[in-house]
Amino acid sequence: MKNVEELLPKDKFDNCNIEKLKLLSDEEIKPICPRLLEWIQDYNWSVAKDILSVLALHQEIITPLIIDIPKNILLTECFFI
């Protein structure tokens, strides 16, 4: 796969590349994993369930990203006095 970015959903209804995403190896999908995680932030979006099935195939590379989410929120969203 030359450019995996092209496989990312274009909108919350775009699930046309899900099967292609499922075929990617860990190394191929790793660069777009943070962007894929963004698509599951609202589970009401049609594509969220499909993206979750893709992410489930790559748990070893997704887990550290998920663990970092609260830390990143604290660093970027919280203000301390």
| Tens digit of each residue's pLDDT (9 = 90 or more) over 16-38 | 999 999 999 999 999 999 999 99
- Statement: the pTM of the whole predicted model exceeds 0.75: yes
Q: Where are the domains of the chain?
A: 4-77
**What is the C-alpha to C-alpha distance for residues 38 and 40, in angstroms, rounded to an integer?**
5
What pLDDT is attached to residue 6?
96
CA angle in degrees (0–180, nearest 5) for 76-21-18: 95
What CATH number does the domain located at 4-77 have?
A: 1.25.40.750
Confidence of residue 65 (pLDDT cuts 50, 70, 90): confident
